[in-house]
Structure 1
Amino acid sequence: MCVTDSLTRAQSPFLIYWQVCVRLCCCSCVVFFFFFLGMDAMEKKLAEYKCDTNEAICLKLVRFPEDVGDESTTFHPEYSHQLYGDDEVAFGYKGLQIQLYYTAGNLNTLFKIKYTAKVSEKFDCVEPDDVECKIRENIPPGFCSNTDDFITLLEKEANFKPFGSLLHTYSVHSGDEGEDITYQIYKADMTCPGFQEYHKRLQTFLIWFIETASFIDVDDDRWDFFLIFEKYNKDGETLFATVGYMTVYNYYVYPDKTRPRVSQMLVLPPFQGEGHGAQLLEAVHRFYCTFPLVQDITAEDPSENYVKLRDFVLVKLCQSLPSFSPDQLCEGFSEAMATEAREKLKINKKHARRVYEILRLRATDMSDEEKARSYRLEVKRRLFGPYKKNQREMTKMMRCLRPEELASHISQMDTKLQHEELEKSYQELLGEYRRVIERLART
């Protein structure tokens, strides 16, 4: 039985009632069935067998055997719709728990399903969703289904070493234990022994934390992989735990250059909020800066959180460039800024302009009415560009419009409305820029 069929029944109890009736009619029990149970009672009973799959899926990065039973080390997906439908609901179980536990370093996997009751145990005519098949389709073979086997693999974690070449080492201060924890960023590709199998396990996290994630074609040698690992001690040995990673595809740019494009980026939930994303993105920029034939670095369909992260990292990198010095900022955005950002840091002109506006805001005394006005007008002139373009296009269209169509388009060109939208966009942008400046001040 496919998941979508069973979910439809879970959402429409009448369909279940009908199937129950069909199966019971051979025993001439339909009337008695509805008489004793009733529609409302049946619906309530069935509702008890619906589970939120985001809560039912339990993820864990295991370092020590005792972590397996420690609920404090468990985390849950943000999304599960790619496997269990838009409602993210599984039907047919009470107390459903889908365990996906990984050894912290090599990501060897334990997959188990637990529940306290199944709907088929109560109602012979109703089948539960096959929640197991969807997981099996998306995790690579070779996983454990027995905890003892998983613990045996955990004991071999001392043999695991990061893949590829070391790019960057940094420390993060732990507030709980008061000590610095060391992290390292590595650059790898599919030629690294064992990396392809490791990557198959690593990418399974994408479907739980990136809304539109998909697995990549690893046979294409234009992919680069950047990985973060934590160094930690276990029984006097140094071990490595997977923290997060980024995939980058190197597009060809005529005639002889490439344009690296960030495809996927994920810091695993136990490590989020510690600055690892910024460390990773900065390390990636610095890596590609060493290649003269790299034109600039872009991102594929960046999320809002990624844009915030990129703003912070690019501003941090550009603030030391001579063309972005405070005395140059007050002169306005220049071609020298765009050129230096591209040549030294592989930042394209659009992003360099955004960096300029953030740094100029930081250098501007906004309590000075004249300086604030000068800054506001410059930013608004850039924001007004799309409005002017739309206005020109609509003017061309008006020549062939009927009177009623013309009236509709004229209303869209209302100047007052445009000014209101422009001011709204400016204030939202100002809020984004100030958050970057505040974060920069903290670091």
Structure 2
Amino acid sequence: MGQKQRGSSDVDNEVKKRRRVGFSVIDDGVEAKDCITIYLVSSKEEFDAPESFVIHPVDLNNYFNDDGKIYGYEGLKITIWVSSISFYSYADIAFLSSSDRGKGITDLKSALQTIFAETLVDSKDEFLQKFMVDNDFVRTNISEGEVLKHKAFKEKICDSNQHTDSSASNVEVVRLVGGNMATGQLYSHLIPLTLLLVDGSSPIDVTDSQWEMYVVCQKTTDQQGEIQYRVIGFSAVYRFYHYPDDSRLRLSQILVLPPYQHKGYGRFLLEVLYDVAIAENVFDFTVEEPLDHFQIVRTCVDTLRLLRFDPIQNVVTKAVSLLKQGKLSKKTHCPRLLPPLSAVEDVRKSLKINKQQFLQCWEVLIYIGLNPVDKYTENFVSIISNHVKSEANEASNTVQMDDNLANQEEQLQKLVQEKVNQIKLIAEKVTVLHLRKKGVAVD
């Protein structure tokens, strides 16, 4: 790591000046997010380029003291570069002065080591040299993996210094198994970005053979005609035992690198994971504490699959018909309108979608079936309200609710509106994707 400091004589003079004044300035510290900038670079040329891709971490403050602040520095600026080729990193630390003003001096090197571990190199020269020495890092570590699926993407997915035609961009998903040295090597280089970009993430035990990594790679040909692999994203999946002689897959981590997000790669990876679950006939496929954005992608993927799943179309049509039969507000009993257990079991067996996830998709399927939905909005909101209230009652033992009944009702109405808005968003995305798969042009 590069580090600039003032001469010792200058520091001594400042200490003497403070002693003559008779009191010291309280050190308010600086939040890590306010003095650290992280760049993702793919070449030596991008190192000093102003257009280099900036990474925006979830919460850097977690790695610095209990209050998330850095103490003991004036004019602190930390610039970190991460290679998108081999995921080595280098940090340049610059500051005007350093002194203990009552709260100590934060050990910056130790804090950065906590995040970047073995990928953090000591010098700029060493970091830049990695672009030459470790150019085959990804290809070497996935060479023993199983290629599961190829796909040509129309979107331009090249790094900023490349000009490859988007039509020539091929992507493949490779499966690596835990307990393998190559798997551990690749994962150890990817985990720093996972910690920075995925809220609440923690490293998995890659020595456990029940863990599997699914790596999304961009396959390109360089100017010398050599095939190169670049990591676009990855997922970590654990294979659990399910009584009596079955297994189930649980997705623990998934990350698409920032330059490639919102281009369909996360959806592609999720589709591959479902292909694996179906091909190997596991009990079901689950997700460990999904984040909101991922849950939207997941529900889009699953709803799209359910729209093409014939065994449930009749029960969806029946539920939609009930909502079209007059206003539910005028009826003495408002039904919850849940799918029959037989449909839940069919979906689990054939599509590997578990019950909880199917219920999320079920609401979207009904919304799509009500087209034009405006005419039946009141009935649909009533059904969603029933679902939210039922979920709230089931969670009342673990979730603290406001004692005031009026406040409770306000909270519930807010939850209902948020859920309806999310269902509408997902339904719109799914409808567009469904029409595209059928060959219908959509603006």
TM-score per shorter chain, which class? 0.7 to 0.9
Counterpart check, 1:85 vs 2:72? no
Q: What SS does the corresponding residue of 1:128 show, helix, strand or coil?
A: coil
Which of the numbers 283, 288, 294 marks the counterpart of 2:272?
Answer: 283
In the alignment, the residues of structure 1 paired with residue 104 and residue 374 of structure 2 have an alpha-carbon distance, to the nearest angstrom, of 70
Name the amino acid aligned to 2:295: V
More off after superposition, 308-317 vs 91-100: 91-100
* 1:335 aligned onto 2:341: yes
**Contact kept in structure 2, 1:100 and 1:110, CA below 8 Å:** yes
In the alignment, the residues of structure 1 paired with residue 274 and residue 126 of structure 2 have an alpha-carbon distance, to the nearest angstrom, of: 41
Q: Quickly say closer, same or farther: Cα 1:51–1:228, change in 2 above 3 A.
A: farther
Aligned to 2:166: 179
Counterparts in 2 of 1:320 and 1:87: CA distance versus 1, 3 Å = same
Match of 2:369 in 1: 363
The verdict on how the C-alpha distance between 1:316 and 1:32 changes in structure 2, with shifts beyond 3 A counting, is: same
Residue identity opposite 1:135 in structure 2: L
In the superposition, relative to structure 1, how do residues 329 and 134 fare at CA in structure 2: closer, same or farther (>3 Å)? same
Instruction: Pick closer, same or farther for the CA change 1:166–1:93 going to 2, 3 Å.
Output: farther
Cα displacement string for residues 272-300 of structure 1 (whole angstroms, at most 9, x for unaligned residues): 222222221221111111122x1111122
Question: Among the aligned pairs, what percent are the same residue?
Answer: 18
SS in 2 for 1:194: helix
Within a 5 Å distance, the mapping from 1:248-397 to structure 2 comes to: 248-292=237-281, 294-325=282-313, 328-331=316-319, 333-365=339-371, 369=375, 371-386=376-391
SS in 2 for 1:302: coil
Asked if 1 retains the 8 angstrom alpha-carbon contact of 2:179 and 2:208, the reply is no
Once the two structures are TM-superposed, the CA of residue 365 in structure 1 deviates from its matched residue by 3.3
Aligned with 1:141 (options 93, 115, 118): 118
- Corresponding residue for residue 10 of structure 1: none
Deviations 1:232-265 (A, max 9, x none): 3432433121222111112222212222211112
Cα distance change of structure 1 residues 420 and 115 upon mapping to structure 2, 3 Å threshold = closer
Is residue 2:200 matched to residue 1:212?
A: yes
| Alignment match, 2:423 | 433
SS of corresponding position for 2:118: coil
Secondary structure (helix, strand or coil) at the match of 2:239 reads strand
* Contact 1:110/1:146, CA 8 A, preserved across alignment: no
Letter in 1 for 2:385: K
1:227 aligns with 2:201: no
Contact 1:229/1:241 (8 A) holds in 2: yes
Conserved? CA contact 2:177–2:210, under 8 Å = no
Deviation of 1:201 (Å): 1.3
Tell me how far 1:142 sits from its aligned partner: 6.5
Distance 1:337 1:132, change over 3 A: same
C-alpha distance in 2 between matches for 1:218 and 1:309 = 26
Q: Give the Cα–Cα distance (whole angstroms) in 2 for the partners of residues 224 and 273 of structure 1.
A: 24
Matched residues in 2 for 1:75 and 1:230: separation?
A: 20
The number of aligned residues is 386
Q: Give how far 1:266 is off.
A: 1.5
In structure 2, C-alpha distance between the alignment counterparts of 1:433 and 1:126, rounded to whole Å: 49
After superposition, where does 1:64-83 map in structure 2 within 5 Å?
64-76=43-55, 77-83=57-63
In 2: Cα distance, 1:389 partner to 1:99 partner = 46
Equivalent position of 2:41 in the other structure: 62
Deviations 1:40-63 (A, max 9, x none): xx35xx56xx54423544434433
Aligned-residue offset at 1:124: 10
Residue equivalent to 2:82:
101
Q: What TM-score results when the alignment is normalised by the length of structure 1?
A: 0.76
Residue by residue, what CA displacement relative to the aligned partner does 1:86-125 show, whole Å, maximum 9, x if unpaired? 54332314242242422x2332x142323042324xx899
Of structures 1 and 2, the larger Rg is shown by 1
8 Å Cα contact 1:258-1:295 kept in structure 2: yes
The counterpart of 1:196, out of the listed 179, 184, 188, is 184
The offset of 1:68, in angstroms, is 1.6
Whether contact under 8 Å (1:79, 1:207) holds in the other structure is no
Mark the runs of 5 or more structure 1 residues left unpaired by the alignment. 1-19, 394-408
Asked if the contact 1:366–1:372 (Cα under 8 Å) also holds between the matched residues in 2, the reply is: no
Give the SS at the match of 2:232: strand
| RMSD (Å), alpha carbons | 3.5
Structure 2 counterpart of 1:130, from 107, 111, 117: 107
Aligned to 1:169: 150
Q: Is this contact kept in 1: 2:90–2:120, CA < 8 A? A: yes
Pair 1:124–1:222, CA change in 2 (3 A): closer
**TM-score normalized with structure 2 length:** 0.76
Cα distance in 1 for partners of 2:412, 2:103 equals 57
Q: Name the structure 2 match of 1:401.
A: none
CA shift digits 1:407-443 (9 cap, x unpaired) = xx9x9595x7766555443322111011111222343
Per the alignment, in what secondary structure is the counterpart of residue 67 of structure 1? coil
- The 8 Å contact of residues 228 and 245 in structure 1, kept in 2 or not, is answered as yes
1:152 aligned to 2:129? yes
CA distance in 2, matches of 1:367, 1:149: 60
Tell me if the contact between 1:53 and 1:88 (Cα under 8 Å) persists in the aligned partners. yes
SS of residue paired to 2:229: strand
Query: Which ranges in structure 2 are unaligned for 5 or more consecutive residues?
Result: 1-11, 320-336, 434-443
Contact map agreement 1:118 1:128 (CA 8 A) in 2: no
Native 8 Å contact 1:248 1:262 kept in 2: yes
Cα 1:387/1:141, change in 2 over 3 Å: closer
